[in-house]
Structure 1
Amino acid sequence: MEEVERAFREAHGAAVASLVRLFGDITLAEDAVQDAFVAAMHHWPRSGIPPNPAGWIVITARHRAIDLKRRADRGRELYGKLAAARSEPAEHPWEAVPEGDPDLMRDDQLRLIFTCCHPALRVEHQVALTLRLIGGLSPQEVARAFLVSEATMAKRLVRAKFKISAAGIPFRVPAAAELPARLRVVLTVLYLIYNAGADNRKGRGDLRREAIRLARLLVAVMPDEPEALGLLALMLLCESRTPARGTDAIVLLRDQDRSQWDRGLITEGHNLVLRCLRRGRMGPFQLQAAIHAVHGDAPTYHATDWAAIVRFYDRLLVAMPTPMVALNRAIAVAETQGPAAALDLVDAVAAELDGYHLLHATRGALLSQLGRSADAAVAYSRATQLAPTEPEVQLLTERLAEVIAPGQTSGGKEQSGPADCD
């Protein structure tokens, strides 16, 4: 049963995308694919999973879509047109190629990704639609991923699909002139999906894997887009450290057992970064991937080439001048120029990030290193109040106890540096 569900999820995006192309109706495509899943649950356990699950699903779902559309319209005229269209292999390659055309399948999914990530939609709707239609997650799973109720997520999905229909958003890859701006939205949505699954303690590995799969799909159909390569590299390098992050408590980057890092993912990520560097057009995702590649190169935390990381952050801050990038750069500066220089940089963005717990955690760590224990305690206390998860509260409470009672560290560890949560 699990194999059937996994195979169906992997085929879901291709099937929905193909049916949207054929019928121009997202809701109809969804319903038909769900009915095909019911059929798959009945047939596949007995006959085995077919060599091309997506092809099987699309053919089954297409016939179901014709039935649904015929019933909805209560007209034989439309059904006759659809039935006639089925005999035209030039327009409907699934009929001519029952096993499915992989190139067409990828193109359909790419069109649907860009449709889901149209700038006319709100970001939360873009993410929800992409997970639902391309990732094959159920509304319950999408709702759980973003910590909202199923009813709230259902409303988001309905609104997003209505917006696509009402605004006449086309099912296509944008023209060349539109592509740079539109691609950034798609890449950002995929990165948000990955980050939504990045907390290893919440059992969201499916989100991370789906984001990586979609990034691979994007690279497969757009191999000359350096930022797509950069995003895939960034995800792979982040994912390589997942086994060492822990599940019950936060394990900071400096404390991770690097023998647990996935060297295969690191090698693949490094190779992608090298391809990006050779192109000489380093955008934000490529620069972030390069930073993570430097971390992956280091045998220990203290052997990290922090000067190289600062240089990459210098370029990232130019490309993406946000207070979050400035904060992360300050953490790297602490390793090259010391806590005083880093504290000045952190204080420069403190007002903009006052509601962000890691801003205060970083200040607490830097102040502690400078011997300003009372100020560090205030910063750690504020960070603890803002921390969104219990493991983070636990870690910050330990740090607070350390500065209140100097010399008494948790587990015999020395004082940690800036908030290097991975």
Structure 2
Amino acid sequence: MSTAAEAGDLLRPLAPRVLAALVRRFGHFETAEDAVQEALLAAATQWPERGVPDRPDAWLIRVASRRMTDLLRGESAGRRRQEKAVAQASPDELLAPAADTELLRGEDDTLTLLLLCCHPSLTPASQIALTLRAVGGLTTAEIARAFLVPEATMAQRVSRAKQRVKASGARFRMPPENERDERLRSVLHVLYLIFNEGYTASSGPDLHRADLTREAIRLTRTVLALLPRDGEVAGLLALMLLVDARRPARTRGDGALVPLAEQDRTRWHRESIDEGIALITGTLPRARLGPYQLQAAIAAVHAEAATAADTDWAQIVALYQLLDGMDPNPVVTLNHAVAVAMVDGPHAGLALLQPLDADDRLSGHHRLHAVRAHLLEMAGDQEGARTCYRTAARLTTSLPEQRYLQARADRLTP
């Protein structure tokens, strides 16, 4: 007998492999995804009581295939004949060598599924939802809870995403060679967004959502296993590991936020740090340099400092300069400003922030005001810092961040 948690741990890696087998056999990605979800739910319900089957992948394919025929019934006569043949087949027939061969290919199909779920016709929010459901094996309810939206809202988002993929004419196959690099960048960006939402939740009572960070790390590991020589995939996994290693020290017992400079670094997860540093150290000399590798290198510098005072800020500034030249965006500028302030003083950092006031991507974001408040406090401008802390607290929808920022403002109140 297995626990529900053990069943869930087994089901997530199987989800894309089972989905791939159905799509290859039947086509109809959107219908196959629904059938797989129902098979996963059946397994999550039955396996904890009855035990995990000897061939869990085969069990899931059999259940999903039968559900698939139900969902497809009513189409053309040819389709109905095919459904009848599959529906009447014995379990052994359904698991004939051809199906086993498909399962053996399942790992390779995970990347194909990710590329399909991150199709350029979809918005980032839809890409995230479809990736977590089709490749991550999460239910719509689980995804909705993770993003604090009603289940009906998330169901509509997933449904629209599948309809849009179908309307785009996308097929279950690798994209043409000339499109693969760009499509892979989209996949990595989606995994990065999932991780970030888990590490610092954009809204709600909790600072982080470990289920999302774990899923992002698991999926990135899967991609790295398929593309072991890709420097950016390795860089992204290293970045996730190095940043997530800080999670045990990021909150106090009451859930209050602890900033990086005040964290007890003995609580950082050493195994994740060692793995992340080994990944980025092994990748930088051999792979073409990319933004995720540079971000991982920055995280490694923080991880290697025994205390905040030991941080090699000059090296971090140099890395941010490289990152800004390669992938200029307001978030990079924001973090670069903090590093510059630590090396050249707060006024130098504040000067870097000025252009961001005119950048619509960040001008109304709480992080810009929070960083400016921090640098103003460093410069001795308590009134200006207090005003910016309060503005940042008003703009954020994360309760731990809101409480932290308000506390900083209150501390500066005369």
TM-score normalised by L of structure 2: 0.89
Which structure is higher in RCO with an 8 Å CA cutoff and minimum separation 6? 2
Which amino acid is the alignment partner of residue 372 of structure 2?
Answer: R
In structure 2, the residue matched to 1:295 is 302
1:274 matched to 2:277: no
Contact 1:364 1:375 in 2 (8 A): yes
User: Are the structure 2 counterparts of residues 390 and 326 from structure 1 closer, same or farther at C-alpha, using a change threshold of 3 Å?
Assistant: same
> Structure 1 counterpart of 2:239, which letter?
L
* Alignment-derived partner of residue 417 in structure 1: none
1:329 aligns with 336
The equivalent of 1:414 in structure 2 is none
Determine the C-alpha separation between the residues in 2 that align with 1:38 and 1:187.
28
Q: Does 1:358 align with 2:367?
A: yes
Q: State which drifts further: 278-287 or 262-271.
A: 278-287
Partner of 1:380: 389
1:212 aligns with 2:222: no
Query: Residues 228 and 55 from structure 1, CA distance in 2 versus in 1: closer, same or farther, beyond 3 angstroms?
Result: farther
Report how far residue 56 of structure 1 moved.
Answer: 2.7
Is the CA contact (8 Å cut-off) linking 2:29 and 2:172 kept in structure 1? no
- Give, in angstroms, the shift of residue 311 of structure 1: 0.9
Deviation at 1:101, TM superposition (A): 6.2
Indicate conservation of the 8 Å contact 1:143/1:150, yes or no. yes
Q: Quick one: structure 1 residues 313 and 262, their matched pair in 2 at CA, closer, same or farther if it must change by over 3 Å? A: same
**TM-score of the aligned structures, taking structure 1 as reference length:** 0.87
1:378–1:29 distance in 2 versus 1, CA, 3 Å: same
Gap change, CA 1:351 and 1:174, over 3 Å in 2: same
Distance (whole Å) between structure 1 residues aligned to residue 215 and residue 228 of structure 2: 19
State the SS of the aligned residue for 1:186. helix
Contact conserved, 1:21 with 1:108, CA < 8 A, in 2? no
Per-residue CA distance 1:38-78 (angstroms, 9 max, x = gap): 54356534552235533431233224323443x33374x33
Correspondence for 2:148: 147
Where do residues 33-48 of structure 1 align in structure 2 (5 Å cutoff)? 33-37=36-40, 39-41=42-44, 43-48=46-51
Give the drift of 1:14: 2.2
Q: State yes or no: 1:251 paired with 2:258.
A: yes
Report the AA paired with residue 209 of structure 1.
R
1:85–1:45: structure 2 CA closer, same or farther, 3 Å change rule?
Answer: closer
Closer, same or farther: CA 358–120 of 1 in aligned 2, 3 Å: same
- Of 230, 233, 236, 2:238 maps to 233
Deviation at 1:93, TM superposition (A): 10
CA contact (8 A) 1:373 1:403 kept: yes
Partner of 2:90: none
CA RMSD between the two structures: 2.5
One-letter amino acid of the structure 2 residue matched with residue 7 of structure 1: L
1:163 is aligned to 2:161: no
Using the alignment, how far apart are the partners of 2:263 and 2:76 within structure 1? Answer: 63
- Listed as ranges, the gaps of 5+ residues in structure 1 are 87-91, 406-422
Q: Which moved more, 1:345-354 or 1:240-249?
A: 345-354
Task: Return the letter of the residue paired with 1:392.
Answer: E
Tell me how far 1:218 sits from its aligned partner. 0.6
Residues 89-238 of structure 1: pairs in structure 2 closer than 5 A: 95-96=96-97, 103-199=104-200, 201=206, 204-238=209-243
Residues in 2 aligned to 1:175 and 1:282: alpha-carbon distance in whole angstroms: 24
Q: Per the alignment, do residues 22 and 336 of structure 1 end up closer, same or farther by CA in structure 2, a change over 3 Å counting?
A: same
- Asked whether the 8 Å contact 2:111–2:223 carries over to 1, the reply is yes
**CA contact 2:249–2:263 (8 Å) conserved in 1:** yes
Aligned to 1:56: 59
Counterpart-to-counterpart distance in 2, 1:103 and 1:335 = 52
The residue number in structure 2 matching 1:415 is none
Partner SS state of residue 129, structure 1: helix
Does the 8 Å contact 1:93/1:101 carry over to 2?
A: no
Q: Are the equivalent residues in 2 in contact too, given 1:284–1:320 (CA < 8 A)?
A: yes
**Over residues 326-356 of structure 1, what are the superposed CA-to-partner deviations in whole Å (9 max), with x where a residue is unaligned?**
1100101111111111111122323323212
- Superposition deviation, residue 401 in structure 1: 2.1
Segment drifting more, 108-117 vs 41-50 = 41-50
Deviation larger for 376-385 or 296-305: 376-385
Indicate the SS of the match to 1:302.
helix
Distance 1:152 1:134, change over 3 A: same
Is 194-203 or 104-113 further displaced after alignment? 194-203
Instruction: Judge which range, 384-393 or 120-129, deviates more.
Output: 384-393
**Separation in 2, partners of 1:125, 1:166:** 15
Between Structure 1 and Structure 2, how many residues are aligned? 399
How has the CA–CA distance of structure 1 residues 386 and 67 changed in structure 2, closer, same or farther, with 3 Å as cutoff? Answer: closer
In 1, Cα distance between the equivalents of 2:97 and 2:266?
A: 50
Secondary structure of the 2:257 match is coil
Mapped to 2, the partners of 1:42 and 1:370 lie a distance apart of 59
In the alignment, the residues of structure 2 paired with residue 302 and residue 103 of structure 1 have an alpha-carbon distance, to the nearest angstrom, of 51
Distance 1:42 1:400 in 2: 49
SS of residue in 1 equivalent to 2:400: helix
2:270 is matched with 263
1:74-93 correspondence to structure 2 within 5 Å: 75=77, 77-81=78-82
CA deviations 1:148-173 (Å, max 9, x no partner) are 32222222111111111122112122
What CA deviation, in whole Å up to 9, does each residue of 1:99-124 have, x standing for no partner?
A: 67665111222111100101111111
Q: Distance in 1 between matches of 2:109 and 2:46?
A: 26
Structure 2: any 5+ residue segments left out of the alignment?
Answer: 88-92
Cα distance in 2 for residues equivalent to 1:404 and 1:100 = 68
Q: Distance in 2 between matches of 1:339 and 1:66?
A: 65
Q: Deviations over 1:379-421 (max 9, x none)?
A: 222222212222212211221122223xxxxxxxxxxxxxxxx
Distance between the aligned counterparts of 2:186 and 2:96, measured in 1? Answer: 34
Does the CA-based 8 Å contact 1:383-1:396 persist in structure 2? yes
